[in-house]
Amino acid sequence: MAADNFKQPNEAEKDRIQSFAFVIAASVCILFCIGFAALSLVGSQPSQETELESRINPNDAPLASLVRLPGVGIGRAEAIMAYRKGFSEKNGNCRAFETTDDLQKVKGIGPKTVQNVSEWLKFE
């Protein structure tokens, strides 16, 4: 029979084969770990700048556009929209914001926030 032609490994050979397979498997695992760690370090560098396609007019910008401004979250964006709505109701259809400094009239927005968003705003 064909099975008789193959030599059966003894216990010492089995132990040697298992040890060799373990060393290979451990080496492959270590190499994968190093590779994934290197890839995660390269791809995890956070961007320090917020990029916008164009300048935003706070007098008519929607909530989604205002939220994209640096330092302006949903709460501040909603406050801007509420202020401009209230301003329009009191003063007719006048614009609530003529300059970046006018944003400081909104509760929760101070000089630092105005400084951060000034380059992203336009007033037309």
Dist CA 96 CA 73 (whole Å): 20
Residue 57 counted as domain residue: no
Residue 58 counted as domain residue: no
DSSP 8-state assignment for residue 45: -
User: 50-95, pLDDT tens digit by residue?
Assistant: 454 578 899 888 988 899 888 888 999 999 999 989 888 888 878 8
Residue 80 counted as domain residue: yes
Which tokens belong to 123?
């007033």
Percent of the chain with pLDDT over 70: 86
| 47 vs 61, higher pLDDT | 61
In this predicted structure, what is the pLDDT of residue 52?
Answer: 46
Query: Domains in the chain: how many in total?
Result: 1
With a threshold of 0.85, does the pTM exceed it?
no
89, 82 Cβ separation under 8 angstroms: no
Residue 49 counted as domain residue: no
DSSP 8-state assignment for residue 109: -
Full residue range of the structural domain in which residue 79 is found: 63-120
Residue 102 counted as domain residue: yes
Residue 15 counted as domain residue: no
pLDDT tops 90 at residue 24: yes
CATH number for the domain that contains residue 91? 1.10.150
Residue 1 counted as domain residue: no
pLDDT tops 60 at residue 2: no
Which tokens belong to 22?
């373990």
